[in-house]
Amino acid sequence: MFQPQGFEQRSVMTSLGRMVYYTPAGVPWQEKTIANPQTESLVFLHGFGGGSSAYEWSKVYPAFASEYRILAPDLIGWGRSEHPVRNYQIDDYLTTIREFLQQTCTGPVTVIASSLTAALTIRVAIAHPELFQSLILTTPAGLADFGEDYSRSFFAQLVSIPFIDRLLYSTGVATEAGIRSFLEQRQFAQPNRVYQEIVQAYLESAQQPNAEYAALSFVRGDLCFDLSLDIEKLTTPTAIIWGQESQFTGPHIGHRLAQKNPHAIRVFQKLDDVGLTPQLELPAVTIGLIKQFLPLVNGQ
């Protein structure tokens, strides 16, 4: 599954099954950085949606591999990780994100996460602050923030109908045309930034056996929650990047969330002309912002 040069696939066992992750393993990366257990870790967590996987960050995390220990997992139910047959719930991801960090990292780490996963990571950081050094998040929304609940939308209700849900997934999500259409019309601000490799990576993930279970749990709204009820409890230093053209939750939600906890949220950066995933749409800009924010959130 589309992994950058010099990275290899490894895995750990979580309570819900095997979680695959990608990490530098040799040339062209510096052996001393890879082998040194004291090297600071950066963990990259992808968001949710049909075909999501660690590929989402694959144009960004190699830029840090010469200085940091990089870990980029496919979350349970996505990519090449196991796909348990279940209706996924919020606690499934709170638990497996925590378990992944506990099994792969020996001290507090910087986690760089996207969209709903980023919002879930905030909740993990609230419950287990000892695992985190800092957070850098793109569009961290619970999708029910300040009462704007996605799960009440027409599409979420439609996908809640048995048999209709799997029909929609097989014909409208797990196809090349369906993925390209979603990326161009809903996820990216500029359709011409969606190139064939992105479509193929999402398609490969979406067509994994039982991939529909996690995706449909997300689309139904089973994983949504109101982050505004929790964010004041966050103590981990945090920076937020928010695409101006994000169609699911606009930057006004991000501003309101950031204003509820200015002590922890040290940076809020709105990006013009970009959608939900700046890490795919404008990876070079995202890399530059992460490099700018790291010393701010890590007190360097």
**Are the C-beta atoms of residues 116 and 47 closer than 8 Å to each other?**
yes
At residue 152 the predicted structure's pLDDT band, cuts being 50, 70 and 90, is: low
Rounded to whole angstroms, the Cα distance separating 19 from 11 reads 5
Per-residue model confidence (pLDDT) at position 34: 59
CATH code for the domain in which residue 119 is found: 3.40.50.1820
Q: Quote the Cα angle for 49-116-208, to 5°.
A: 30
Per-residue model confidence (pLDDT) at position 87: 94
Question: Is pLDDT at 121 greater than 60 in this prediction?
Answer: yes
Question: Is pLDDT at 46 greater than 80 in this prediction?
Answer: yes
Question: Is pLDDT at 158 greater than 90 in this prediction?
Answer: no
**Total number of domains in the chain:** 1
Question: Is pLDDT at 176 greater than 60 in this prediction?
Answer: yes
Q: What six digits make up the tokens of 70?
A: 């990089």
pLDDT in tens, 249-284: 899 999 999 999 999 999 999 999 999 999 999 999
Place of tokens 């220990």: 69
Burial of 151 (0-12, 13-18, 19+ CB in 10 A): middle
Rounded to whole angstroms, the Cα distance separating 100 from 83 reads 16
Question: Is pLDDT at 29 greater than 90 in this prediction?
Answer: no
Question: Is pLDDT at 239 greater than 90 in this prediction?
Answer: yes
CA 160 to chain centroid, in Å, comes to 24
At residue 160 the predicted structure's pLDDT band, cuts being 50, 70 and 90, is: low
Let me know if residue 102 belongs to a domain. Answer: yes
Q: What average pLDDT does the segment 171-175 reach?
A: 82
> What is the SS3 assignment for 215?
helix
Let me know if residue 2 belongs to a domain. Answer: no
> What is the SS3 assignment for 270?
strand
Question: Is pLDDT at 36 greater than 80 in this prediction?
Answer: no
Question: Is pLDDT at 99 greater than 80 in this prediction?
Answer: yes
Percent of the chain residues topping a pLDDT of 70: 90
Let me know if residue 1 belongs to a domain. Answer: no
Question: Is pLDDT at 159 greater than 70 in this prediction?
Answer: no
Let me know if residue 101 belongs to a domain. Answer: yes
E strand residue ranges, 227-290: 238-243, 265-271
Report the predicted TM-score, pTM, of the whole model to 2 decimal places.
Answer: 0.94
Question: Is pLDDT at 72 greater than 90 in this prediction?
Answer: yes
More confident residue, 216 or 89: 89
| Residue-range definition of the domain harbouring residue 244 | 7-297
**For residue 107, which of 134, 76, 139, 72 has the smallest C-alpha distance?**
134
Let me know if residue 114 belongs to a domain. Answer: yes
Contacts of 260 (CB under 8 A, 6+ apart): 228, 231, 232
User: How large is the C-alpha radius of gyration of the chain?
Assistant: 18
Contacts of 251 (CB under 8 A, 6+ apart): 242, 243, 244, 270
